Amino acid sequence: MIKLRNCVRCESDRLEDANVERLREVSGHVFSTVLPARRCGNCGEEYFEGVDLVRFDLAVARALADAAVFDGPAVLFMRKALGLLAKDLAALLAVRAETVSRWENGKTPLVDRPVKAVLHQLVTERATGASTTESYLRSLVKPRRLAKRVKVATEATAGEDATRE
């Protein structure tokens, strides 16, 4: 919960719990959600948990990616929801930072389907607390050496106990 004794704006202590609708407009679509908040009974200012706002932005980014909306504002929104600088996203995708900028300002539309798939995966995983794709992309910069002999597991692989039977 939001720990706040007094309103930051008017210093009133009349803060109450409220469920507040939040809206985000991206690429001509309005996304809404209802978040828990503390509302000032004096001036009406509303306070949200930062983590809730981040999660909302990731949910919006995911909805955009699910619907394959990758115009400039959508790409910009996805990158910001991921908390990445343009140069960091560029490094993950192995493109130049200027390329990311051109996608975002609409000068060159993003049409590369594999790039869209990776962006979709990045926002989907971040929204669900995973980081498989991002970690893998980072590992590709400096891959670990694979041993000559490698033991792998599949669904059908017998476990240690089964082997002993």
Interface residues with Zn ion (CB under 5 A) are 7, 9-10, 12, 40, 42-43, 45
Torsion sign (Cα): 154, 156, 161, 165? negative
Complex with Zn ion: residue 8 or 130, whichever CB lies closer: 8
CB of 9 to Zn ion, least distance (A): 5
Residue 85: count of CB within 10 angstroms of its CB: 12
Give per-residue burial for 1-25: e unless 16+ CB within 10 Å, then b. Answer: eeeeeebeeeeeeebeeeeeebebe
Complex with Zn ion: residue 40 or 78, whichever CB lies closer: 40
CB of 3 to Zn ion, least distance (A): 16
Complex with Zn ion: residue 15 or 75, whichever CB lies closer: 15
First-residue to last-residue Cα distance in the chain: 52
CB of 49 to Zn ion, least distance (A): 18
The pairing of strands 15-26 and 46-47 is: unpaired
Cα separation, 1 vs 149, in Å, equals 51
CB of 1 to Zn ion, least distance (A): 18
- CB-count exposure of residue 83 (10 Å: 0-12, 13-18, 19+): exposed
Complex with Zn ion: residue 39 or 62, whichever CB lies closer: 39
Cα separation, 42 vs 15, in Å, equals 8
CB of 41 to Zn ion, least distance (A): 8
Complex with Zn ion: residue 4 or 10, whichever CB lies closer: 10
